[in-house]
Amino acid sequence: MRTNLCLGLFILLFVPSMAWCNIGGGDVTYRPSGADIVIYSHDTHLKKGLRCSDCHYALYSTVGGHLKKVMMQDMDKGQSCGACHNGQKAFDVKDKNNCKKCHK
């Protein structure tokens, strides 16, 4: 009986949070000064096999109003997007031929 109760609580509480994470969180639009806007797609990154926790808390907050500032010079040093977009895990942010992949 107790096992069934624990299993039921697990399903009730944990499964919806997994489904929310798989939804993707929508698009985030950055408006950098002096550059074209960047539209970050959660869905595109999830389709590549990433998990929410690959970025959230370590690189970015999950609260929209508390996003860390994203700067190209930081990305060039392997911070924020540059942690993966380094030419090894994903296309390199340092390669000028890749600018339009993010900047629309």
Contact 28, 45 (CB under 8 A): no
Domains of the chain are 25-102 (3.90.10.10)
For tokens 């040093």, what's the residue? 77
pTM value surpassing 0.95: no
Residue 62 has a pLDDT of 62
Q: What is the mean pLDDT of each run of 10 residues along the chain (104 residues)?
A: 60 51 72 86 90 82 63 90 94 94 90
